[in-house]
């Protein structure tokens, strides 16, 4: 079994000698490299929803994305869901359905589709190679394409949009909140805040990281972090808090002292149910308090 304890996945030292995976969960679409033998993953059905894959127009090639939304007339608020390193596997699709059940249009773009699908892989080196192809510029370009597509849909309230992301996607939330005024709120789950060392995963790309763009934030971000995360030092969390305060930007970071990286991922051994439920409730309240509240609007865009 693999235990993921870092923001973009595990290093070799984190892997246990046995690599057991649950066949049933793999065929259900879970990331094979991270499935815990003890996992009891949450499953959300599609009753009352319209859910499935769409192809979003993009300059080089259509961008696949999983979309879940209420099966009812009206314009609904949006949450863009940015995946972990494993891409749009079943956990991410289930999060979209959970949000759709609450009255959101949830969209999870497949940012790695140009290089492959990391979900079925067990070799983390191969996963890293796929993920590394998704540069910061490409990811932000893909998010722009998603926003353009969303604005053209008659089921979207384009005045109520938020973004959330997990692990690798948590860092992308901060970057998106600094780029796109369409987002009214962000929720970043254990995303890296500072640039990795040159010899570490994703350290080669010459790009800004969340701590570099605090002054540019256009939307308030709520970050969820783990006290036992091996990849994100709590000094980075404190630095981000200080930078938000100094820049007079609305935002906060919540630390769960006993949690590990990936504490919301119910298919992993690092799942921490109390922390996961508390953070999920805080995220929904954060969205609502910043104007991205569930519920359909009739008529013109809000």
| Residues taking part in catalysis | 167, 229, 261
Say if residues 270 and 4 touch (Cβ distance below 8 Å): yes
C-beta neighbour count of 12 within 10 angstroms? 7
Say if residues 193 and 212 touch (Cβ distance below 8 Å): no
DSSP state of 70: E
C-beta neighbour count of 130 within 10 angstroms? 19
SS (H, E, C) 144-207: HHHHHHHHCCCCEEEEEEEEEEECHHHHHHHHHHHHCCCEEEEEEECCCCCCCCCCCCCCCCCC
Residue whose tokens read 């030092």: 233
Nearest to 265 by CA among 290, 229, 239: 229
Q: What is the CA radius of gyration of the chain?
A: 18
């Amino acid at each position: 079994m693999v235990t993921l304890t870092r923001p973009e996945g595990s290093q070799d030292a984190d892997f246990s000698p046995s690599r057991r995976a649950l066949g049933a969960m793999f065929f259900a679409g879970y990331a094979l490299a991270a499935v815990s033998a003890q996992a009891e993953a949450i499953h959300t059905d599609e009753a009352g929803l319209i859910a499935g894959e769409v192809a979003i127009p993009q300059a080089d090639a259509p961008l696949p994305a999983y979309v879940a939304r209420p099966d009812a007339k009206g314009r609904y608020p949006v949450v863009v869901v940015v995946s972990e390193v494993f891409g749009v596997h079943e956990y991410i699709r289930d999060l979209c359905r959970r949000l759709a059940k609450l009255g959101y249009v949830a969209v999870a773009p497949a940012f790695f589709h140009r290089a492959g699908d990391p979900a079925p892989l067990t070799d983390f080196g191969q996963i890293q190679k796929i993920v590394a192809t998704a540069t910061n510029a490409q990811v932000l370009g893909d998010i722009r394409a998603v926003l353009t597509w969303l604005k053209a849909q008659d089921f979207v309230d384009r005045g109520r949009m938020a973004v959330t992301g997990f692990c690798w996607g948590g860092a992308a939330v901060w970057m998106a909140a600094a780029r796109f005024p369409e987002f009214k709120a962000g929720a970043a789950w254990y995303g890296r805040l500072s640039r990795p060392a040159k010899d570490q995963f994703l350290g080669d790309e010459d790009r800004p990281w969340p701590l570099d763009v605090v002054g540019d934030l256009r939307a308030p971000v709520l970050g969820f972090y783990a006290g036992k995360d091996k990849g994100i030092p709590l000094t980075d969390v404190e630095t981000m808090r200080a930078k938000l305060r100094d820049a007079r930007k609305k935002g906060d970071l919540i630390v769960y002292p006993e949690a590990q990286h990936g504490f919301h991922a119910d298919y992993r051994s690092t799942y921490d149910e109390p922390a996961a439920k508390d953070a999920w409730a805080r995220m929904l309240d954060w969205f609502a308090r910043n104007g991205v509240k569930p519920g359909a609007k009739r008529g013109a865009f809000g």
